[in-house]
Structure 1
Amino acid sequence: MDQTAFLSSLAGSEPPPDLSVHLQALWWLGRGAPERAHHLVQVLEDTGAAAIHAHVHRLEGDEGNALYWYGRAGLPFCTEPIKAEWQALVGRFL
């Protein structure tokens, strides 16, 4: 799947079945459902999930928790616009 197909899939009511858990979380974020995304990534242990987890907390305005998860991801606190960070994360996992 490429970025165009991923973005087009946001018109559906459920993420495409072949998406990784990371992309499913980003799909739910793209649909405005951060609680669904949070539920998916909070049980994963990898740095990619930690980066998405940080993004979710930043989106919620919880900078302290976001900072913790950026650290777990090995990343500095993101200062880019939220949408730009989401797009970069989508690109990372596609």
Structure 2
Amino acid sequence: MTTADFKSSLSGMAPAPGISPPLAALWWAAKGDWTKAHEIVQDEEGVDAAWVHAYLHRIEGDLGNAGYWYRRAGKPVASGPVEAEWDRVVSALLEGEQT
């Protein structure tokens, strides 16, 4: 799946079947359902889920919690527009699924 395909899927009612939980969480976040997105990643293991978890707490405004999750993900604390971060995370996760 490409980033363009992923963005196009946002017109649907649910994320594409078979995508990873972190990508599903980003899908729900883009649809404006922070709670559903957070429910998906809060119990997931791994750096991808931690990165998405960090992003979600950043958009929530809980920067202390976001910092914790960025550290767990091994990623620098993001700055700049959250929309750009969403694009960056989606692209990285999709690329990782293709390898």
State the TM-score, normalized to the length of structure 2.
0.90
Counterpart in the other structure of 1:61: 61
Q: Which runs of 4+ in 1 moved over 4 A?
A: none
Matches within 5 A, 1:9-88: 9-88=9-88
Which deviations, in whole Å up to 9, do the C-alpha atoms of 1:29-73 show, x marking residues without a partner? 111111111111111120111110000000000001001111111
Which residue does the alignment assign to 2:97?
A: none
Q: Distance in 2 between matches of 1:21 and 1:33?
A: 15
After TM superposition, give the deviation of residue 80 of structure 1 in Å: 2.2
Normalised to the residue count of structure 1, the TM-score between the two structures is 0.95
Aligned counterparts of 2:76 and 2:16: Cα–Cα separation in 1: 31
Structure 2 residue ranges without an equivalent (≥5): 95-99
Distance in 1, Cα, partners of 2:20 & 2:71: 23
Number of matched pairs? 94
In structure 1, what residue type is equivalent to 2:25?
A: A
Identify unmatched segments of 5+ residues in structure 1: none
RMSD over aligned Cα, in angstroms?
0.8
Displacement of 1:18 after TM fit?
2.2
Q: Structure 1 or 2: larger helix share?
A: 2
- Cα distance in 1 between the residues matched to 2:11 and 2:78: 28
